[in-house]
Structure 1
Amino acid sequence: MSQIALPLAPANGAETIVVSPALQPVIDGLLAAQDWPYRTCILSGPPRSGKSLLARWFEISGLGDAVDDADSHPEDEVFHLWNRAQASGRPLLLVNNRGAGQWRVKLPDLGSRLGGSMTLNIGAPDDDLLVQLIEEHAARRGLALGEGAITFLLPRIERSHAAAEQLVQTIDRLSLERKAPVTISLLRDALAEGQDGV
């Protein structure tokens, strides 16, 4: 398990990308940008899975250009960027926030070209990645989870990046509201809030 640190300094500390075996194929695919068909790749994944962070890391690392929310950009603009990547030979990473296979391109020329591009998809987190995500979100908040917290949470949490982030946020809020350390009772309450859709 490792992390990729971004050379950025937001107010709440350096941003990192947690890397686990589940994410390693995506990292490897990004590092092989020079081998992408048509020098273009579409990166997809569930909400809060780090697509934007990976795009920023890709660009900051000098691996190529990246367009976040590419699926929301005008199609003629994306087509122009694709053409520029072909002319310059510089890799182009397009972040798709609609989910794998859900980006329906209407412009025929763009659709055919993107159809031949590399695709990378971030899947649901495995247990190792969930542990790392919970620990990373807690560390960024300065939240001490306490012994046994992860063991208690892991079999009970929804298997998603967004759920891990939301759960730590709820734990932190409850701990601050109650002016109390994180206990199993507090963790139960945080999980219950998540199940109630709060």
Structure 2
Amino acid sequence: MSQIALPLAHRRAADPQRIVVGNANQTVIEALRAPAEWPFRTAILTGSARSGKSLLGRWFALEGKGDVVDSANTLDETDLFHRWNRAQEDGRPLLLISDAQPWEIALPDLRSRLGAALHLEIAAPDDAMVAGLMESLAEQRALVLGEGALTYLAPRAVRSFADIERLIATIDRLSLERKAPATLSIWRDALEAVQGAEQPKLL
């Protein structure tokens, strides 16, 4: 599983933040590498909570690929329309990150222009990417998951970026509270805590 490192210190570690590359975002990343091919040099990026939309936006900006507007769906539509016009005048690619899907746009001129933009969406991660995300999140916390953890946890985890993050945080917390290494009993309890009664009976 490959990663993209960003020169941005993680809040809980000295290591840079990392974007895990997998089935969910590979196509998105390939598109972000080639903004000259976007219709009107504009793309809209969506995805579920904690899926890495903002991290990809920062990487795009740091690479000098173009301008980024995060949480674009929350901005005043007239202001956003002016941003789009300026990007066109300057010949600068414009990446808009939206927290809402679908994104309802009331202003007709803006709606027609963004309707022609390239639409990119981060999908749900598969088992391989879930394992990569867990490994990266544990590394950021200096958490040793224990032998066999990824093989055990990946197929049992909900295919949600936010839930995967909560799962690793819960394993870390339980390990610290119990002053014990993260092994099978902690993995089980963390899965139950995060997923509750809906946890599949694969134990």
Taking structure 1 as the reference length, the TM-score comes to 0.95
Residue number in structure 2 paired with 1:165 = 165
Name the SS for the 1:52 alignment partner: helix
Q: Quote the offset at 1:156 in angstroms.
A: 1.0
Give the unaligned 5+ runs of structure 1.
none
Name the SS for the 2:16 alignment partner: coil
Q: Quote the offset at 1:22 in angstroms.
A: 3.4
Q: Quote the offset at 1:21 in angstroms.
A: 3.7
Q: Quote the offset at 1:87 in angstroms.
A: 0.5
Output the CA distance in 1 between the equivalents of 2:33 and 2:26.
Answer: 10
**1:152 counterpart letter in structure 2:** Y
Q: Does 1:32 align with 2:34?
A: yes
**1:96 counterpart letter in structure 2:** S
**2:172 counterpart letter in structure 1:** D
Output the CA distance in 1 between the equivalents of 2:23 and 2:159.
Answer: 16
Q: Quote the offset at 1:85 in angstroms.
A: 1.1
Trace 1:28-177 onto structure 2 (pairs within 5 A).
Answer: 28-99=30-101, 102-177=102-177
Name the SS for the 1:5 alignment partner: strand
Between stretches 186-195 and 5-14, larger displacement belongs to 5-14
Contact 2:23 2:125 in 1 (8 A): no
Residue number in structure 1 paired with 2:201 = none
**1:146 counterpart letter in structure 2:** G
1:17 paired residue among 12, 16, 19:
19
**1:145 counterpart letter in structure 2:** L
Q: Deviations over 1:171-192 (max 9, x none)?
A: 0000000000011011110001
Report percent identity of matched pairs: 55
Output the CA distance in 2 between the equivalents of 1:94 and 1:149.
Answer: 37
Give the unaligned 5+ runs of structure 2.
198-203
Taking structure 2 as the reference length, the TM-score comes to 0.93
Output the CA distance in 2 between the equivalents of 1:21 and 1:154.
Answer: 15
